[in-house]
Amino acid sequence: MSNLITIIVVDDHPLFREGVVTTLQESGFFDVVAQAGTQEDAIREAEKHLPDLMLLDVSMPGGGIETAEEITKRVPVVKIIMLTVSEQEEDVQAALRAQARGYVLKGVASDDLISILRDINNGDSYISPNLAANLLMRGSSTVTEAEPKKNSISMIENGKF
C-alpha cells in the first residue's frame, strides 16, 4: 500500500465529493486519506495527513484559491489541483499564482482525471486544454512583433504547460 498516492478531496458538495473519492479509490492508484468541505477542514486535514495531492474546488466555503494559498504556505510539499466548474481566466491565473499544479474542469472523464493526477504526482502540471489555449492566445496578443513567439501548440499539447 505504500506505493499509493495519498490524496485529500475537498468540495462542499458531498455527493460530488463522494463520487470523486469512490473513483479514485477504485482506480487502485490512490489512498484517499481524508475529505473536507470547507477551508478550515481542508487546512486541518492537510496538516494532519501531509498528502501527496489535494483536490480543491475554487468555489468552496472559504474560497478554494485562498485555501490553496494557505496550504502552500503551511504545507508546501502538497501538490494542489483545482477541480472546478470555473472557466474564468481570473480564477485560472489566481490558482497558478497560488502555486496550484493543476486546473481541471469538473466535466473531465474519470479515467482522464486519474491520469492527470498521476502525471501531476510525477512532477507534471496541467491546465484543461481549452483554458490553456485561451490564456496563451490572450498572452500572445500582448507580444510585440519584434519578439519571437513560442509555438503555442507545443505548449498546450495535452493541457500540459
Domain assignment present for 146: no
Radius of gyration over every alpha carbon of the chain, rounded to an integer in angstroms: 16
Length of the chain: 161
Domain assignment present for 25: yes
pLDDT in tens, 95-106: 999 999 999 999
Inform me whether the pLDDT recorded for 157 exceeds 60.
no
Inform me whether the pLDDT recorded for 54 exceeds 80.
yes
pLDDT in tens, 64-105: 999 999 999 999 999 999 999 999 999 999 999 999 999 999
Domain assignment present for 52: yes
Domain assignment present for 161: no
Domain assignment present for 138: no
- So what's the pLDDT on residue 153? 40
Sheet holding 79-84, edge to edge: 30-36, 5-10, 53-56, 79-84, 102-105, 126-127
The total number of structural domains in the chain stands at 1
C-alpha to C-alpha distance for 53 and 59, rounded to whole angstroms: 19
Going by pLDDT thresholds of 50, 70 and 90, the confidence category of residue 135 is confident
Q: What is the rounded average pLDDT for all residues in the chain?
A: 88
- Domain of 96? 5-127
Domain of 22: which CATH number?
3.40.50.2300
pLDDT in tens, 109-128: 999 999 999 999 999 999 98
Cell 507580444, residue located: 143
- So what's the pLDDT on residue 64? 96
Domain assignment present for 27: yes
Inform me whether the pLDDT recorded for 160 exceeds 60.
no
Rounded to two decimals, the pTM is: 0.83
- So what's the pLDDT on residue 129? 86
Percentage of the residues of the chain whose pLDDT score is greater than 90: 77
Domain assignment present for 69: yes
Domain assignment present for 9: yes
